[in-house]
Each structure stands twice: as structure tokens, then as C-alpha cells.
Structure 1
Amino acid sequence: MEQVLAPNKKLSELEKKRKDAIKAKDKAKTEHYRSELVKFYVQYGSVLKTDVKNDREALKYLERALRYEENHALANYRYAHIMYKQGEFVMALSHFQKAIDSHVEPLNDTLMQITYLYMADASLKVAREALDNSETSEGIGSLDEAKIQKLREKLSIPDFFQLEKAWFRKLTGTEEELIDTVQYDLLCEETIHNPNLVILANKDTEIHLIYQGITSEPLENSTYRVLYFVLKSREFIDNKTICEKINLSIETEETNESGIRTAFTRIREKIPFWEHILEQRKNGRRTEHRLRDGMKVVFVTEAGEILPDDV
């Protein structure tokens, strides 16, 4: 059974405030709350797609975002990605193109590269489908079978899952790039020889921390988000600050300080080498964490997935 997250009260509040602004004929506030609703819908749709793996529900929220802002780049990108996954390649191409052309929350360079990859692949699939359809139409007997076979071979391309898993987003500090599976494997091997390198990887529907060639147990999405923001921080960060960094408009069981403490308990249980990576200290009554000095962290996720601070 598909899992569905219930949006928190912020959605209702935003919708009410926008309606009130419309009634008051306050154009500035109406536009402000419209923009906030679009942001919420895109973010919530992204979480449903990536964390909950519920594309059907994700589409509902992305469609709402596009009704308010049809040229929103990230909304079109997410929508196109789901259309591609469902085999609706013409629709996917249309929305990928809108994502590229849009100046509303424009895609970063890496997402642009990913979009072009998907568009190229979708175009080939549309061509392949057209070729298959032509073979069932009248007059096919007049076509050169040898040429058809050559064209078919040229259009024989990997399926969705192979394409998606062949490329990864690699984030190091403020630098982001697209890498392939060979580069990913080499990066993992590098941890064996480099004791100061750690990788937080979202791959094959599982999330792991990789250090000195050792891979942790799979991490829950909620724990992943906590660890992501701690690893990105060079300064000590407490649980309250982590809560602020995790977007609280998507309310899950881990978005309060108690949930953050639970996440750290899971980190200690599932990552035996966590003390080599994270530094912990007491600041009054609060516990703070940060990435240890000298450590380099690389975040890797499959090309079609998002990072916790993408939205």
C-alpha cells in the first residue's frame, strides 16, 4: 500500500491567508502567498516522490504548483521526471523543455545536464515507438527490412532504471558535478586509502555512509536529512538549528528536537565509525555536533533524486 504523508497545518494556513488577501484585494499579499503555496507544493511533491516513493500523490501537488506557476522550473522538472518514469515520453519532453526555458527558480547546472540526458533518451524512445507503430501500419511491406533493423538497433537504448542509475549527482562543498558509475566506484575506493574522506550516498533506494571502505547499515530518510545538515556544517550545530535547517513545512516525525535526538541514536547504532567523522560537545544543556576538522565529505545521489536542501 502506498504511503501518504499528511501535510501539516502550514498548508491550510497559507491557503486561508491567500483567500483572505484576495477578499481584501491586497495584490501584494495575494502574490506573496501564491508564491509561498507554489514553494510548498513543489517541496511537498518532491518529498512524496523521493522519500515516500508515491508518484501518484506527488503528481497531485506538482500539478497544483503548475496551476499557480506554469513555468516553475523545478516543478516542471519533477513532473517531467515522473512522466518519463511512467512512459509518457512526449509529456515528459514538454515539461523538461519548460524546465530548461524557465527563469522561475531556474535549475542549477547539474540538473540542466540531467534534464538534457533525459530529453535525449525520451526523444529516442518516442522515435522507437514511432518506428514500432509504422510496422503495424498499412504499406509496411514496401519498406526496406534491413534498414528498419539497423534503425531499430540504433534506437535500442537502456530502460529508465538503467539510465537513472548510470549517473549520479556529486556535491563537494559548493561544487556540484555529474558522475557516472565508474567514477562513483572509484570514489568509493578512494575512501579505503584516504582516512579523511567520507561519502553520504543515496543509491539503489538505500542511503549509506561510506568510510575507509566500510559501508554503514541503511539509514532512514529522516536520519539521512539530519546527518546531511550536520555533515555540511563546519561549525557546531545543535538540534534546534538542525530543525530549522530541515524544512519544517513538511512535517514528519523527525522535525522536532525529540526526533533529532532519535536520529542521533540511530546514527550511533548504524554507523560504528561515527565518532571518527562527527565531533560532539556539550554547550550548556544542549548537545552540539559538527564534521571533524580535516574531514572531507562528498554527497552522492542518483541523478533523478533530490538532496535535502534542493527545495
Structure 2
Amino acid sequence: MGLLVDGKWTDQWFDTKSTNGKFVRSASQFRNWIIPDGSVWSDNSKGFPAKSDRYHLYVSYACPWAHRTLIFRELKGLTEHISVSAVHPDMMTDGWTFHTDSYGASGDTLYGHEFAHQIYTKADQNYSGRVTVPILWDKQQETIVSNESAEIIRMFNSAFDGLTGNTTDYWPAPMRDDIEDVNQRIYDTLNNGVYKSGFATTQGAYDAAVYPLFDTLGWLEERLSTNRYLMGDTLTEADWRLFTTLIRFDPVYHLHFKCNRKRLTDYPNLWAYTRELYQMPGVAGTVNMHHIVRHYHYSHETVNPYRIVPINPVIDYGEPHGRGDRVTP
């Protein structure tokens, strides 16, 4: 995994020496917004209009951050309005590629580029930074609208409602402060915590990440013992942000990232909750377990130097979940 420096690709892994062995995630740099009328969003970002067939989503099926956007594209009825390209699961010296020799890897269906970093330099020929997915692309202006998944799902949540007629709200105004609090803990200790554990290069950095991770899993297990969803009986973005980590936990994070005190299947409520979300209409089709397992084990040479892909347990996400009898206190 590399990065661009002044528009030039460099094969460079994360620098953990300068952070005492800790993995530090880079901030997303493209932070514009799609809003219904396309008016100016703020002093620091542009507003883009919500129009059909104007936007394209570049994703990796392996990546939990990109997976969020695929789920919201399904839930909000945007599959006919926003096109998609999926990268190859192997991320090697050239970063994400558009090679097509893996089921589900589509190639760059817009421009025929070979590498994802070419999308970044098409938007900004002098770009410096990591080349991450998702990438929300404006086909008309030929630029990146956003590469921040948390903001893309909020755009998908409401910006196109007038176009699709789908007004289901996963970020309801009265609950936003509570959702933010839950999101923050889950992001810091679990969504990103698995990476902080797996990419740690000192025992201290690993310990500092892995114990809070399992504290949060225990907290979530207790929360879901009475609540059907994280915010009670209302399904929100917090649930979907959590889901993309949970669906990867036993196949990848438990072994590959040394998050192995317990498996997801050892938490009855979390495991049933994950199955319920997986079984919701359209969601299972966004889960490409081959890409998920292959990407992590094959791409992370510093973690798995021989690139051996494990056989993994057989997990039945279609097993009945029994979550319908949960009562919100």
C-alpha cells in the first residue's frame, strides 16, 4: 500500500516508528457534498446537485468503509442512479488496481484506468496522500466529490430523496447527538480499533488498542440484550457503520489482526444482530466474502509475510436471527 506525493505514486507502508508503534489513520481530503439543489455547502466545500446518472462510486468489496456506501446505495434505492466500479481485492505495490481477474472486480468502467491512484490524479494532478476507497466521483465535472465514507452515507441518506421517493431516514434529527456519541466510541475502539490492533508494531500499541476493543464489544452485547438496534427500535446509520466491522470480525479480524480474545459468534446478541442486518433486503449482495478474506491476508505482507490465505470456519449468516422479540426499555 502506497501513496501519492505531488501526484507521483510511491510504494510506502504506514510509518509506525514515529508513533511508537501505533497505527494512525490519515484524514480524508475531499469533503464536498451532494445536496438537492447543488448550492454552496460551506466556505470549505462545494455543493453538487443531486441528479441521476451524474455520480460514480469507486469501491472495494473488501473495505469496510466502502462497504458502508454500497449498503446505503441499496437501502436508499440509488442503484439505478449511481454507477459503481469495484477494485481487485489484492492491494500490492501499486495500491488498489482495476484488474479484473477476480469475481466481482469490475475494472474502471468509466475510464479504463489500471490503478485507483489515477482517479485521484485525474481530480488533482498534484495530489499528495493515501489513495483510499470509497471515491464518490462527479462524471460531469470529472472530479472527486468526497472520499469520506461517513459523509457519503449521509449524502445518500437524504440528498436524492426527491429523485427516488425513498424517504427512510437513517440519521433522524432528534437522535443525532445520541448517534454521534455511539458512532464515536464504535469508530475509535472498534471500526478503527481492529486496525490499530492489527497494524501495531509494539506490544504497548497493541495492548492499548485491543483491550478497549473488547470492552466495546461487551458494551454492545449488553446494549443489544434489550434493544433491537443500537438506538432502540429505530435502525440508524450507527447500526450500518457497526455492521461492516462485525461481518469481517470472525473471517478476518479475529485471526489476521490478533483480535482473538473472543469471536463474534461468542456474543449471542451481537451475532444474532449481525445476521438480522445481513438478511435485510439488498444487504447480502453487498458482501463479497472472497474479496474480504483474500484482501486482508494476501495484501498485508507486514502482517502475513507468506500471504497464506486461511480456510476459515464456515459461517451461516442466513441462520434465523430471532431478533424480533427485542423490546426497547
Regarding TM over 0.5, the answer is no
Bigger strand fraction: 1
**More helix, by proportion:** 1
The structure having more radius of gyration, on CA atoms, is 1
TM-score by length of 2: 0.25
Bigger relative contact order (CA 8 A; separation at least 6): 2
